[in-house]
Chain A
Amino acid sequence: MELLKPELGLMFWTTVLFLLLLFILKKFAWKPILDMLKEREEGIATALQSAEKAKAEMALLTADNQRILNEAKEEKAKILKEARDTYDKIVGEASEKAKAEAAKILAEAKRDIENQKNAVMVEIKNQIGTLATDVAEKMIRKELKKDGEQMNYVNQLVGEIKLN
Chain B
Amino acid sequence: MQKHFKHFFFIISFLFSANFLFAQEIAQTVIDSTKTGNEAKPTEEKTFKPGDVILNHIGDSHEWHFFSLGDFHASLPLPCILKGPNGFEFFMSSKFNHEGIDNSYADGEGKIIDGKMLPNGYLMNEHGKISRPDGASFLDFSITKNVACMMLSVLLLILIFTQIAKKYSTNKNQAPTGFQNALEPFVLFVRDDIAKAALGHKAAKYTPFLLSVFFFIWINNLLGLIPGSANVMGNTAVTVTLALFTFVIVNLSGNKNYWHHIFAMPGVPIALLPILTFVELLGVFTKPFALLIRLFANIAAGHIIILSIVSLIFIFGQMSPAAGFGSSILSVGFGLFMDCMELLVALLQAYVFTLLTSVFIGQAIEEPHH
Contacts and interface: CB of A to CB of B under 8 A. Distances in A.
Interface in A5-28: 5-15, 17-18, 20-22, 24-26, 28
The A interface, classified by DSSP as helix, strand, loop or mixed, is helix
Contact of B208 (A6, A9, A30, A39): A30
B164 interface: yes
Contacts of B168: 32-33, 36-37
Interface in B166-200: 168-169, 172-173, 184, 187-188, 191
A3 B300 contact: yes
B296 to A, nearest CB: 8
Contacts of B151: 17
A163 interface: no
Interface string B144-175: 10110011001001100110110011001100
A14 B164 contact: no
Contacts of A92: none
Nearest to B171: A36
A24 B164 CA distance: 14
Given A14-B237, A36-B169, A7 B60 contact: yes
B164 A30 contact: no
B187 A26 contact: no
Contacts of A24: 158, 162
A2 interface: yes
B172 to A, nearest CB: 7
B336 interface: no
B206 to A, nearest CB: 11
A11 B240 contact: yes
Contacts of A8: 139-140, 237
Contact of B157 (A15, A21, A43): A21
A29 interface: yes
A13 B150 CA distance: 9
Interface residues of A, number: 34
Interface in B208-232: 208-209, 211-212, 216
B139 A10 contact: no
Nearest to B58: A3
Contacts of B164: 29, 33
B34 interface: no
B55 interface: yes
Contacts of A26: 208, 212
B153 to A, nearest CB: 8
A25 B158 contact: yes
A31 B173 CA distance: 16
Nearest to B304: A3
A35 B139 CA distance: 43
B237 A10 contact: yes
Contacts of A5: 236
B202 interface: no
A36 B244 CA distance: 31
A110 interface: no
Contacts of A53: none
Contacts of A2: 55, 59, 127
B331 interface: no
Contacts of A25: 157-158, 161, 208, 211-212
Contacts of B162: 24, 28-29
Interface string A74-107: 0000000000000000000000000000000000
Contacts of B59: 2-3
Contacts of A36: 165, 168-169, 172-173
A22 B208 CA distance: 7
B298 to A, nearest CB: 14
- Lowest 3 A-B CB distances belong to which pairs? A29-B161, A10-B237, A6-B237
5 contacts: A2-B55, A17-B150, A22-B212, A25-B212, A37-B187
Given A5-B236, A8-B237, A24-B158, 16 more contacts: A3-B300, A4-B236, A9-B139, A9-B140, A11-B240, A14-B238, A14-B242, A15-B241, A17-B150, A18-B212, A25-B157, A25-B212, A28-B161, A29-B158, A30-B211, A43-B173
